[in-house]
Amino acid sequence: MSAGRAAASAADPALAAGATEARSPSARPAPARAELRVVRVDLALRELGRRRLEAGLVDICHRTGLYGRDMAGTGIFDDRKLFALLFVLYYPRFEPESGFVALEGEGRSARVRGYCVGTPDSARQARLVRRMAPALFARMAVAALFHPESFRIARRLVSGAKADAAPDPTWKEYPAHLHINVDPGLQRGGAGSRLIEAFEARMRELGAPGIQLHTSTENAKAIPFYRKRGYEVLSEGAPGQSLWPGFPDARDLAFCKRLGSAAKTLA
């Protein structure tokens, strides 16, 4: 028993009784949690298959999509598949060699518990992402009938992306970008650090001199994580730039990090 659990048991008779019960011969110990493995996406696709891998990405993307919080039950963007098509599914389909997933378990039964996906070349990705159009617009047609609120937000996001199609001048110094999300039950447990370290090492290997990422001032848990990992604010938007309704003070934050030239060994 940990010191924290022992202290809690001493203060709470119910916990103390539970601890005694757990030591009885008839009690069964809780199954140990399988160790997390950080695996490159292309290799995870071979292990899990596309359907299971993408299902895991869809789940985590939606459960962390509201500035690090769960979208479910908020009335905002309830079409989970459309949400993932916009924000994460491009990467396993067109750049699986660049990103990483955290897997719990082995083989086809492994569970996706987090991901860090992205590209070493944002300019190239801006061209390739058009390949998502057939799947995206097909899902938007479904959403127009069954998820009208999701459809309206997706249409706004797609229109905004078209209007902002010019190359970003920051891509020269920071051509790589990333998206990272971890199962809420595993946050602050080191999974995020392992994922982003693996991604940075891969970007060095692919020759990217720097990485950038975008978040929001509303994502209170992510900002200190990025700062601790050596990321600095590249730019900050004006208030009122929230992706989602109900956040009038939200501002876009772009973070960046220069990468050293020495490549690290990938796990």
Query: In this structure, are residues 90 and 118 in contact, taking their beta carbons and an 8 Å threshold?
Result: no
Coil/strand/helix, residue 13:
helix
pLDDT in tens, 220-256: 999 999 999 999 999 999 998 888 999 999 999 999 9
Give the pLDDT confidence score for residue 1 in this predicted structure.
38
**Cα 255 off chain centre by:** 15
Residues 6+ apart with CB under 8 A from 80: 58, 59, 61, 62, 71
Give the pLDDT confidence score for residue 18 in this predicted structure.
36
CA distances to 93, 126, 157, 160, 235 from 164, rounded to whole Å, are 23, 11, 10, 6, 16
Give the pLDDT confidence score for residue 182 in this predicted structure.
97
Considering the domain 38-258, what is its CATH architecture? 3-Layer(aba) Sandwich (3.40)
Give the pLDDT confidence score for residue 23 in this predicted structure.
40
Give the pLDDT confidence score for residue 44 in this predicted structure.
98
CA distances to 38, 155, 170, 252 from 162, rounded to whole Å, are 34, 11, 19, 18
Burial string for 152-190 (b: 16+ CB within 10 Å, else e) reads: ebbeeeeeeeeeeeeeeebbeebbbbbbbbbbeebbeee
Higher pLDDT, 181 or 34: 181
Domain positions in the chain = 38-258
**Quick one: average pLDDT of 142-150?**
97
Give the pLDDT confidence score for residue 163 in this predicted structure.
61
Six token digits for residue 197:
């370290």
Give the pLDDT confidence score for residue 161 in this predicted structure.
83
In which band, very low, low, confident or very high, does the pLDDT at 3 lie, cut at 50, 70 and 90?
Answer: very low
CA distances to 31, 184, 192, 215 from 189, rounded to whole Å, are 19, 10, 8, 21
Give the pLDDT confidence score for residue 16 in this predicted structure.
31
DSSP 180-206: EEE-GGGTTTTHHHHHHHHHHHHHHHT
- Within 10 angstroms of residue 87's Cβ, the number of other Cβ atoms is 19
Answer yes or no: is pLDDT of 154 > 80.
Answer: yes
H-helix or E-strand containing 141?
Answer: helix 133-146
pLDDT in tens, 84-136: 999 999 999 999 999 999 999 999 999 999 999 999 999 999 999 999 999 99
Q: How far apart are CA 2 and CA 27, in angstroms?
A: 19
Give the pLDDT confidence score for residue 32 in this predicted structure.
55
Give the pLDDT confidence score for residue 12 in this predicted structure.
38
Give the pLDDT confidence score for residue 165 in this predicted structure.
67
Give the pLDDT confidence score for residue 123 in this predicted structure.
96
Coil/strand/helix, residue 7:
helix
pLDDT in tens, 14-61: 333 333 333 444 455 544 566 899 999 999 999 999 999 999 999 999
Give the pLDDT confidence score for residue 267 in this predicted structure.
34
| SS3 per residue for 42-86 | HHHHHHHCHHHHHHHHHHHHHHCCECCECCCCCCCCCCHHHHHHH
Six token digits for residue 262:
């020495």
Give the pLDDT confidence score for residue 167 in this predicted structure.
82
Give the pLDDT confidence score for residue 166 in this predicted structure.
72
Lowest mean pLDDT among 10-14, 31-35, 62-66, 145-149: 10-14
Q: How far apart are CA 61 and CA 82, in angstroms?
A: 11
- Within 10 angstroms of residue 34's Cβ, the number of other Cβ atoms is 14
Six token digits for residue 136:
């995206």
Answer yes or no: is pLDDT of 79 > 80.
Answer: yes
